[in-house]
Each structure stands twice: as structure tokens, then as C-alpha cells.
Structure 1
Amino acid sequence: MRRLHHHPLCPFSRKVRLCLGEKRLDAELIEEKPWERPPHLLALNPAGNLPVLCEAENGPTVADAQAIAEYLDEAHPDPGLLGPDPKARAEARRLTAWFDHKFFDEVTRHLWGQKLWSRLAGGPPPDSRVLRAGKANIHTHLTYIAWLAERRRWLAGNSLSLADLAAAAQLSVIDYSGDVPWNDHPLAKDWYARLKSRPAFRPLLADTAPGITPPPHYADLDF
């Protein structure tokens, strides 16, 4: 059976879990603490980052969320998550990179990194200046999500794509700490509610972290 080395509150692990769920692929979830740099994880991925996918015996070991997502889409093409043609795939990849890199650097790293990840890893208390920057930046990104959602059925086009999963994975860990201003961005909220109600998303809503309780709306499918 395939195994996914992950952490429940790692957005990149969640992105791959959503891919697996949408493709209806089973995987044994092995929770890791990457900040401890365990030798077995470094043996699988010398970078020490999550997630890492290990296929069944004699299958490949794939590290990096985007590499795993692309591997899964090629190895298990139904349903496809990158679009039916080159133009659609280019747009899905562009937006996936937006959320994996730009959103993560400007928002997730500031909010999730300070309030959740640092606490789990035994790091220093949150820096109020960093939190303020993340809370200011998130409005720009939610406005962009709303702009896309108003013009398309899903973020990259008419079909659910990896772009939606990448965006939702980032937002979901920030939502765990109650730092997404959904009421200021109703179109983005409606898009996220559609994602949150999909069967692939529901296991994420059951994830918990010791001593950190999410807000009541976090696991509410009706928001």
C-alpha cells in the first residue's frame, strides 16, 4: 500500500492529501515531525521536507508536493487535475505556483508559521509585526480568489484543478487558527465552502493539533 509521510497541519501535505482524495486513492498516513529531522525522513528526502509519497513495493518514492501532484496526475489520470489542454494546464500550473509560493511567502508563513507551526515545533512566541503583515496581505489574495471565482466556475477554469486544491490547502491551515477574514470576502468564502463540502476535504477537517482548538466554523460544512 502506498504511504504518505505528512503532517496534519502542513499545507503542502494537505495539498497532496486532497489530490489523493479527489483521485480516490488510498494511502497510509504516517505523521512526521520534520523539525526533528528524523533519519528515516532524511533517507526518503534529503531536504527533510514534507510530504513524501512512497508507492507500493517496487514503486517510486516521490518528494515535494508539486512533484507528487504531477506524478499522481500522470500515473492516475482520472480525474485529471491539470486541465484538458496545454492552455488549461498552463493556467492551472500558474495559479498552483501562486498559492504554493506567493501566498505561502506573504500569508501562510506569517500566520500559520507564527501561530501554529512554531508552537508545534517548540519555537518562539508569535511576533506581532509578522502577524500584522500576514493579516494585511491575506486581503489581497482573497480579493484575487474572488475575482477568479466570479469569472470562472473554479479558479483555473470550468473544472476543479490543482490550483483549487493548492489554494484551499493553504487557506485551511490558516482557517484552523481563525485568521481568514471570510466575511470581508463573500465570493472567496463561497468558493471555499464548495471545496470544503467535497468528500476529499472532509478528512482534513477532522485533523487536530494538541492544545490548539480550531474555531467552530472550521469543520462546519455549512460554514
Structure 2
Amino acid sequence: MNTPSTPRLYHIPLSPYCRKVRLVLGEKRIDVELVEERWWEAGSEILRRNPAGKIPVLRMDGRLWSESQAIVEYLDETHPNPALMPDTPAGRHEVRRLCAWFDDKFNEEVTRPILSERVWKKVMKAGYPDSRLVKSGLRAVKEHIDYLGSLLDERKWLAGNALTLADFTAAAHLSCLDYISDVDWDRSNSLKDWYATVKSRPAFRSVLADQVSGLAPAPHYAELDF
């Protein structure tokens, strides 16, 4: 049961930034009330909650928190068990580098063009997909898969030998694409095995239960062994 002190996350289901925060909240075993913030609709109060007009926004500890990376690092500092950042400067740098890789480069080249065209145009009733942008995203994702696979050939987790914020950031982006079956998991066994391990964690349960109205998930999406 939610209480007045229960954290509240303003989100949308297929946002990798919102999912990143949800996964970290789940890993930290912090109960949260999810409130869908359809920011493109009339009456949205997103600008009141975040003047930047961006989600997610987390209401917690008596205030509103914004920017997904800042939120998850705040959560890791205030709820240190389990720790999701390494204890060395070099280790923390590698985690932040990979988080930025996904939130900036991967998003620009892959997540945004594919989801914007194949999902959000439909949800927002904003026209038909631009196939050129979708094809560009699908070409780019192959290069990213190869790079991530090369990291995982040498490491247990993306940033090293421990689960970190980098893994949840990557899983957030990849899970959004996997909802519409746009990740070629057969291209890298290392990446496929890593994702199967991440998605089997209890933190992933609510994400795998997501449903977008009018857009059913891929048949394998919620399967832990795929």
C-alpha cells in the first residue's frame, strides 16, 4: 500500500531514462508509485515538476529530483546497499563513461530514431514512421552490439567484475528496443547471456510487465530464457 511518504516516479513505459531509474529503485528495493506522465498531452504538469520539461521526475525525501543519471547516483549514495558504483575513481569513471555512451551516443544513433518512428509517432498520433530513420537506427545498433560484446568477452559485467549503474543504463535502452524486437541477440552470445542475466533480476519484473496501448510486446520480451 502506498503511503504519503512512498516515492513517486513520473514516467512513461518505454523511456530508457525512466526505466533506468525504475531498475535502480527495484535493485535497491525501494517501493515506488508509478505515475504515467504523458507530457505531450494538454494538461500535463511536467513543466511544474521539472522546468526542463523532461522525465523522469522522482518525488522522494520531500522534494522533486530530475535527470536520470543524477537521480540514480543520488539513490546509490543515499541507499548504498547494494552498491552500484565502484569504490575507485577509475572504476567510477568507467561506469559514468558507459552510462553516457548509452544516454548520449546510443540514444542519438539507435534508441531515439527507432522508438520515435516505430512507437511514439503511433502513440502520439503524429504520422507515419520514416523508414529511413528506422533503417539508420537498425544499422547503427549492429556496431553497438559488436562493441558491447567485445567488452563482455573480457568482463563479467559491462564496467568490470561487478554489477553497476552501467548495466542498468544499458539494459534500460536495450529493453525498450527488445519490446519491439529490434535487437539481434544472435549477433553476440556474450551480450545475449549478459542481458538474460540482467533481466532475470527481481528489479526487472515491473519493466517486463509494461504494456503500451495498441502495441503488444514481442513474444519473447518477458521470457527470462530466450
Structure 1 stretch 18-27 or stretch 177-186: which is displaced more?
A: 177-186
- Give yes or no for the alignment of 1:198 onto 2:201: yes
- The DSSP-based 3-state class of the residue aligned with 1:201 is helix
Matches within 5 A, 1:108-119: 108-119=111-122
Within 5 Å, give how 1:55-70 maps onto structure 2. Answer: 55-56=60-61, 59-70=62-73
- Three-state SS of the structure 2 residue aligned to 1:216 is coil
Bigger helix fraction? 1
- In the TM superposition, residue 39 of structure 1 has moved relative to its aligned partner by 4.5
Partner SS state of residue 124, structure 1:
coil
Which deviates further from its counterpart, 196-205 or 76-85? Answer: 76-85
Partner of residue 52 from structure 1, selected from 51, 54, 57: 57
Deviations 1:102-135 (A, max 9, x none): 0000000111111112211221211111011001
What SS does the corresponding residue of 1:35 show, helix, strand or coil?
coil
Q: Pick from 9, 14, 17: which aligns with 2:14?
A: 9
Q: Look up the SS of the partner of 1:218 in the other structure.
A: coil
Q: Is 1:71 the equivalent of 2:70?
A: no
Q: Over aligned residue pairs, what C-alpha RMSD do you find? A: 1.1
CA distance in 2, matches of 1:167, 1:210: 24
Q: CA deviation at 1:144?
A: 1.1
Sequence identity percentage: 51
- Matched-pair contact (CA < 8 Å) for 2:23–2:168: yes
How does the TM-score come out when normalised to structure 1? Answer: 0.96
Of stretches 117-126 and 209-218 in structure 1, the one that deviates more from structure 2 is 117-126
**2:58 maps to 1:42:** no
Instruction: Report the AA paired with residue 83 of structure 2.
Output: G
